[in-house]
Copies of this chain bind each other. A is one copy, B any other.
Amino acid sequence: MSSLDIDEKGKKAWEDTSDFANYFCVYGTIYHQKQMLSDDIRMQGYYDSIFKNKAQFQGKVVLDVGTGSGILAIWAAQAGASKVYAVEATDIAVHARKLVKANGVENQVVVIQSKMEDVNLPEKVDIIISEWMGYFLLRESMLDSVLIARDKWLKPGGALYPSHAKMYLAPIQLESDLRQKFQDYSNAMDGWRHFTNSTKSKFGVDMHCLGKLYQQEQSEYYMQTANWVELHPDNVIGEAAIIKDIDIAKCTFEEIKGVDSPFRMEVHKNAGLCGFSGWFDVDFKGSPENPATNNVTLSTSPYIGYTHWGQQSFLLFPPPSTQVSDGDVIEGKVLMVRRKDNQRLMNVQITHTILSPESKPGSTTKTQTNSYQIE
């Protein structure tokens, strides 16, 4: 078999099925469900969206996409839904069934173990509820499954919980993180020089020709990978720009594949710009025909507090950071696309320019572009 055959076989294998092995299996443990159920901001957001809108759920037929432990389905039933279809692809569905029974809602909640696209329901539904959000909103690409459910099973005028989502990008200072990452990267390259010298002298093989590729691997690992962070509000040094605004009732599959947005942020303090950080909100507003009685927002902003989503930071490299001043404006563009080798992961590219009010027209800092993976 030629190497081309193998390459294509490898890629095909990855696309077809590693998704089940790699993605769904993570969600199959109670440990992982417990992690998500212990996120109080997440829990309170969904709890309020249902129980502050009991009138919307009363007597309604509900579909929960990716029910996991079944928590949202149980809440919907407790809030008065007449029937809840709770769809879950992993074996955690077995446990969801147990929980449904233990909480006495087995007459209302039907747990269906299946991928969403393969489900066959006996009826259309009034409400679709789902906790589909990944890191920086779109990682995991699970919103796809919600749109599949929407297009096939939601009655006209039916409501999505959540109904809207927004992504934010803000300038940050994280000097120690930036220095540490760069130090780790430098140490790795020192290690490479030591390694190639010793392999040559002790074992007679010259490895220098792989140095550039090793450098690229290490740069990707240390510098070009977005980091999960729990930002302190003080780390945010300017306004957060909205880079994506999704109306889940109306958006297309194409629109949620990524981000392609200009941004403009005013800097609020004199600080070293180390990069950018991204987070998201989702809103529970119901639908125009069936609006929520009480709008609820679940936010993963650093101003709100800890969530398991945290924020994603995109550090500029190489250091040091660039000094910016209160009143400066950062203009740029963010591009986020799904990775070809794994549709649930993302590549991000951020281009930015710093504009200072005192500078003459046209005299701005050099435009800089950095690329990252969200792993």
A residues with a Cβ closer than 8 A to B are 1-3, 5-7, 9-10, 13-14, 16-18, 20-22, 24, 29-31, 34, 37-38, 40, 43, 47, 69, 71, 74-75, 78, 89, 91, 93, 95, 98-99, 101-103, 112-115, 118-120, 192, 195, 199, 202-210, 213-214, 217-218, 221
- Which secondary structure characterizes the binding site on chain A? helix
A38 touches B195 (CB 8 A): yes
- Identify 27 residue pairs between A and B in the complex whose beta-carbon atoms are under 8 Å apart, listed by A's number: A1-B114, A3-B112, A3-B114, A5-B118, A6-B89, A10-B20, A13-B17, A16-B17, A17-B17, A18-B20, A21-B22, A29-B217, A30-B217, A31-B214, A31-B221, A34-B214, A37-B207, A40-B202, A47-B203, A74-B205, A75-B203, A95-B210, A99-B205, A99-B206, A99-B209, A102-B206, A103-B205
20 more A-B residue pairs beyond the given contacts A6-B89, A29-B217, with a C-beta to C-beta distance below 8 A: A1-B120, A3-B112, A3-B114, A13-B16, A14-B20, A14-B21, A17-B21, A21-B22, A31-B214, A31-B218, A37-B195, A37-B199, A37-B207, A69-B210, A74-B205, A75-B204, A75-B205, A78-B204, A99-B206, A102-B206
Complex Cα gap A250–B202 (Å): 34
In the assembly, how many copies of this chain are there? 2
Question: Quick one: which of B6, B20, B101, B203 contacts A13, CB cutoff 8 A?
Answer: B20
